[in-house]
Amino acid sequence: MTSRPLPMTAERACPHFNHKAGKSMVDSSDQRDFHRMTVACPIRFRKTDEEDFRTGTANNISAGGVQFSCGESFSPGDTVEVMIEPGVALTPPLHARVEVVRCDESGQQPGDYDVACRIRQILD
């Protein structure tokens, strides 16, 4: 007995697409240009007019930005140099100049801030 191929349907051609709703089921509800990858690794940072690096924790990273926690407040528009070395051979280090987009108290501990930045320039 010869089996016949199933007819091609939109659902079979693209199973992650919700054809009744007209949008992908894997679409995120936010309007970001790039997906974020959650990380938890050390970050070194300094304002561009400073000589010494300080440390914090990188929380997430994408092709367009980085978010980290530290004990320092920044203002939107501040330019910061960041260095992230994930410690995993599959993930290359990041050395970049970023622009602060938002800085909020983290709520974890008094004096801790979550700093969201847009990558402006890759260094090295």
- Please give the domain boundaries of the chain with CATH numbers for all domains: 29-122 (2.40.10.220)
What are the distances in angstroms from CA 25 to CA 20, 21, 29, 35, 96? 11, 9, 10, 15, 33
Structure confidence at residue 25 (pLDDT): 37
Cα angle for residues 9, 13, 18 (degrees, 5° grid): 85
Structure confidence at residue 78 (pLDDT): 97
Tens digits of per-residue pLDDT, 36-50?
Answer: 778 889 999 999 899
Q: Which two tokens stand for residue 118?
A: 């847009």
Tens digits of per-residue pLDDT, 85-114?
Answer: 877 777 788 999 999 999 999 877 888 999
